[in-house]
Amino acid sequence: MLVAPPEYPEDPMSSPPPLAGGPQGPQALRPLLETTLNALAEGATERDGPLPRGGPAAVEARVREAAGDLLPAQGTGADDALRTLVAAVAAGAADPANPLCAAHLHCPPLALATAADLAASALNPSMDSWDQAPAASALEALLTATLAAEVHGGPPDAADALITTGGTESNQLALLLAREQAAAHGHHPHVLVGANAHHSLRRAAWLLGLPEPVTVPAPAGVLDPAALDEALTELPGPPGHFLVTATAGTTDAGLIDPLTDIADLCATHGARLHVDAAYGAGLLFSDVHKTKLHGLDRADSVALDLHKLGWQPAAAGVLTVRAAADLDVLGHRADYLNADDDTEAGLPDLLGRSLRTTRRPDALKIAVTLKALGRTGLGALVDQVCDRAREFADLVAAHPGFELYDKPAISTVLFRPADADDDHIAYVRRTLLTDGTAVLGRAQLDGRRWLKATLLNPHTGPEDLAALLTLVEGTSPR
Ligand SMILES: Cc1ncc(COP(=O)(O)O)c(C=O)c1O
């Protein structure tokens, strides 16, 4: 059935534009979605690759031209604004759905998760009080209990989880929980991070006013347990005073720290353990790969991002805690959101579920995805990208013109043209970016620069991997 597009008056004050919610919302959205989807297709066709051609200046010029006057006296109407700006942003996108866009932990979102995210935007629940999000908060509670049990096991409700904006916020919260636990015993915590840890952990320590973290060597790309033991033995302070942070899925190489050894050391020294599994935790869904995370359940807190190995549009971060009571310190009162008498009368108190106030219902898209695909469906996606990474590594290793860093632990492959110097590696990457032909990352490991392919696209095929290598091979200094 054809639906007439809503009319946009010349004077927007005379009649407000239609809303996304309510019984009429879907009717108003339908034609706008048609325009939006057409503009997405138009932009992708114009780009015709993983990245726009021409580098920053060309992209900026295209965007400026489409945007024109961004705050005109008279608006151009919904159809024109959606068409021109969505098409311009799509034409200038780095598209992780293209198999040759493989630089970062930047996954292609599943269509079904994106559809659920549209529903979240239309309903616009805000997760800071029950009267703004009755069903969305109930669904979030089910989801966080499910994910906490998935990571930590144990009896029902022993563990808990919070939805976050990603690994950065999860790591900040983990340090905050450690700080508060140490403070309860009159201590300031000392944070230990591997030399391979994500930069957000050091930043979190700075933000929270904690001492500069102690760096534990990671000579082979993973935290060295002997060095951790030494650091925990030598650092002054009573048990309960240390927070060890380990990584399951390093940003640069996708490597997994020896979690069981680290958990044992933490138990011996009475240290709290946080595992940044922002990348690696998705392996839990795979029967083939979940053994790589042995010991993860023993962590006091775990960061996991479903906008990495989980195919969600950003943001879909989660922080799990093994002891649900650890989250009590986040409790907070604001009379307009969780007055004592409302809570006593049975209205759920949501304010302690985040440090944010207004908060999107990111739980909806995650819950829809878990339910639609199930453990088997998600596990198959994980297996697929891990298989592709292994195949790409084999291709590199078999090619006399390339050097492979190591076999991938998850889905990251580091490689470099043999005999190339570091400047040449950077040049190759930038040339591919400017040509718009491939998006590869870079990493500095073992004192050398490497090209990084982070394979997160389950639709990538062997022919794409061969094409990627051919592109790099064909990029010599000009
Ligand atoms: C290991 C690790 N932890 C944390 C983060 C930060 O995650 P986000 O960008 O979602 O905040 C990243 C980002 O790539 C990461 O690789």
pLDDT in tens, 128-154: 999 999 999 999 999 999 999 999 998
Q: What is the three-class DSSP state of 36?
A: helix
* 277 & 362 share domain: yes
The whole-angstrom separation of Cα 464 and Cα 392 is: 10
Residue whose CB lies within 8 A of the most ligand 1 atoms, among 169, 173, 198, for a mutation test:
198
**Burial class of residue 157, CB neighbours in 10 A (0-12, 13-18, 19+):** exposed
CA–CA gap between residue 319 and residue 177 (Å, rounded): 11
Q: How are beta strands 272-276 and 301-305 bridged, if at all? A: parallel
Mean pLDDT of 200-228: 97
Percentage of the chain modeled with pLDDT above 70: 96
Closest C-alpha to 458, from 382, 379, 390: 382
Q: How far is the CA of 342 from the centre of ligand 1 (A)?
A: 37
In this structure, are 285 and 429 located in the same domain?
Answer: no
* Cβ atoms 431, 439 nearer than 8 A: no
The two most distant CA atoms of the chain are separated, in Å, by 74
300 in contact with ligand 1, CB cutoff 6 A: no
Ligand 1 geometric centre to CA of 203 (Å): 12
Looking at the fold, whether 87 and 137 belong to one and the same domain comes out as no
The predicted-structure confidence for 320-342, as pLDDT tens digits, reads as follows 999 999 999 999 999 999 999 99
C-alpha to C-alpha distance for 229 and 224, rounded to whole angstroms: 9
Whether residues 355 and 379 fall in one domain: no
- Does the pLDDT at position 471 exceed 90? yes
Distance CA 50, CA 99 (A): 8
247 Cβ below 6 A of ligand 1 = yes
Map tokens 């108190």 to a residue: 349
Residue 280's pLDDT band (boundaries 50, 70, 90)?
A: very high
Confirm whether 343 is domain-assigned: yes
Among 39, 57, 92, the domain boundary falls at 92
Q: Is 274 in the pocket of ligand 1 (CB under 6 A)?
A: no
Indicate if the alpha-carbon torsion angle 279, 285, 287, 291 is positive or negative. Answer: positive
Parallel/antiparallel/unpaired status of strands 190-194 and 242-247: parallel
Do residues 238 and 258 share a domain?
yes
> Is the same domain home to 382 and 367?
no
Read off the tokens for 449: 């620069």
The CATH number of residue 362's host domain is: 3.40.640.10
Q: Is the pLDDT of residue 3 over 70?
A: no
pTM (predicted TM-score): 0.96
- Distance from C-alpha of 349 to C-alpha of 347, rounded to nearest angstrom: 6
Q: What is the pLDDT of residue 370?
A: 98
- Cβ contacts of residue 175 below 8 Å, gap of 6+? 189, 191, 201, 204, 205, 208, 210, 243, 274
Rounded Cα–Cα distance for residues 231 and 219 (Å):
15
User: Last residue of some domain: 352, 372, 392?
Assistant: 372
Q: Strand 402-404's sheet: what is its strand order?
A: 402-404, 412-417, 448-454, 441-445
What are the residues facing 243 on neighbouring strands?
Answer: 191, 272
Q: What is the CA radius of gyration of the chain?
A: 24
Confidence (pLDDT) at 2? 45
Residue whose CA is closest, atom 10 of ligand 1? 166
- Considering the domain architecture, whether residues 467 and 337 belong to the same structural domain is answered as no
Give the residue, by CA position, lying nearest to ligand 1 atom 12: 167
The pLDDT value recorded for residue 435 is 97
Model confidence at 409: pLDDT above 60: yes
Structure-token pair, residue 319: 């922080």
Q: Is 437 in the pocket of ligand 1 (CB under 6 A)?
A: no
Residues 168 and 284 in one domain: yes
The answer to whether position 11 is within a domain reads: no
Within a domain: 67: yes
The ligand 1 atom nearest the CA atom of 197: 1
198 alpha carbon – ligand 1 mean position (Å): 7
- pLDDT-derived band at 7 (thresholds 50, 70, 90) equals low
- Helix intervals (H) in 92-154: 111-123, 134-152
The total domain count for the chain is: 3
Asked if residue 16 belongs to a domain, the reply is no
Same-domain check for residues 360 and 382? no
Q: Of all protein residues, whose CA lies closest to atom 6 belonging to ligand 1?
A: 167
Ligand 1 pocket mutation pick from 279, 362, 410, 454 by most atoms within 8 angstroms of CB: 279
Indicate whether 19 belongs to any domain: no
Residue 347 resides in a domain: yes
**pLDDT given at position 71:** 98
For residue 298, pLDDT over 70 is answered with yes
Buried-exposed string 91-113: b where 16+ CB fall within 10 A, e elsewhere: bbbbbbebbbbbbbbbbbbbeeb
Contact 288, 118 (CB under 8 A): no
Q: Please state the atom number of ligand 1 nearest to the C-alpha of residue 105.
A: 14
Give me the pLDDT at residue 1, please.
Answer: 45
Would you say the CB of residue 411 lies under 6 angstroms from ligand 1? no
| 341-377 tens-digit pLDDT | 999 999 999 999 999 999 999 999 999 999 999 999 9
The CATH number covering residue 383 comes to 3.90.1150.10
Please list, in sequence order, all residues whose beta carbon lies within 8 angstroms of the beta carbon of residue 4, skipping any fewer than 6 positions away: 31
Three-state secondary structure call for residue 119: helix
Residues 261 and 330 reside in one and the same domain: yes
How far are the Cα atoms of 55, 61, 396 from residue 430, in angstroms, in the given order?
9, 19, 20
Identify the residue with better confidence: 1 or 245: 245
Question: Given ligand 1 and candidates 305, 309, 454, which is best to mutate, with the most ligand atoms within 8 Å of its CB?
Answer: 305
Q: Are strands 160-164 and 317-321 parallel, antiparallel or unpaired?
A: antiparallel
113 in a structural domain: no
pLDDT, mean over the chain:
95
Alpha helices in 193-323 (DSSP H): 199-207, 225-234, 259-269
317 touches ligand 1 (CB under 6 Å) = yes
The secondary structure of 49-79, three-state, reads CCCCCCHHHHHHHHHHHHHCCCCCCCCCCHH
Tell whether ligand 1 has an atom less than 6 A from the beta carbon of residue 310.
no
Same domain? 143 vs 254: yes
How far, in Å, from the CA of 200 to the mean position of ligand 1? 8
Distance CA 455, CA 200 (A): 23
Rounded distance between C-alpha atoms, residue 297 and residue 289, angstroms: 15
384-406 average pLDDT score: 98
Q: Same domain for 368 and 388? A: no
Write out the residue range of the structural domain in which residue 87 sits.
25-92
Is the pLDDT confidence value at 476 over 80? no
Domain C-terminal end among 325, 344, 372: 372
Please, which pLDDT band fits residue 419 given cuts at 50, 70 and 90? confident
pLDDT tens-digit readout, 238-269: 777 899 999 999 999 999 999 999 999 999 99
